[in-house]
Amino acid sequence: MGVDYVDLYYVHRLDPKMPVEKTMELMTGAKNSIRRAYTVAPVDAVQVEYNPFQLDIENETGTNLLSACREFGITVFAYAPLGRGFLTAPTTLRPTIRFSPANFAKNPVLVNRFKALADKKGCTPGQLALAWLSAQGEDIMPIPGTKKLKYMVENVGALKVHLSKVEVQEIRDKVEKAEVVGKRNPLGMFTEYSVTVEL
């Protein structure tokens, strides 16, 4: 590459059979993998799916990845902050389990509740999701993807949406009380939150 160092290098999947110290596959690493890898080289960022409907990094399902990142001052880059279109285009079938015909009819109920909260706040559901993520802490960086300029402009509009602590908790409560039907990925497709073998 012709450079002395790389500012930020992502490796997007873990191989649970390969020691993390060898591969530095940190993007979706478990809490202990992050700790072990950090002893080899500082970790500055982890990219993981995080949105109001995907809270695995906060709890045991995601091996408390968020707490490990905060322990070491690691920034979390939240991909799919709009729920892979779950919040912005819930009427479109996609090739994921969550959007399969069997689950498709059940999930818009939650989206409608989220839309009602956005309407109350005077913003779009996408803007509300981005504002909610930003309110989780300065160490959370939402990275929404977009295909059209109008959606990019809409996403930037989230910077003007300010949520009180009460509103942040209200969003969390509504989401936690609702049930998102279907996994986000087919079983075995990704090895997220894998614990790697010891070195």
- The whole-number average pLDDT for the span 89-105 is 62
The tens digit of pLDDT for each residue in 39-94 reads: 766 778 888 889 988 888 888 766 688 998 999 999 999 998 998 777 776 555 55
Annotate 79-128 with DSSP letters as a single string: ESTTTTTTTT-TTS--SSSTTSHHHHTTTHHHHHHHHHHHHHHTS-HHHH
Q: In angstroms, rounded to a whole number, what is the distance separating the alpha carbons of residues 61 and 79? A: 18
Q: What pLDDT digit, counting tens, does each position of 132-177 carry? A: 999 999 999 999 988 889 999 999 999 999 999 999 999 988 888 8
Largest Cα separation within the chain, whole Å, is 52
**Spatial CA neighbour of 139 closest among 31, 66, 59:** 66
pTM: 0.75
Write the CATH number of the domain with boundaries 20-177: 3.20.20.100
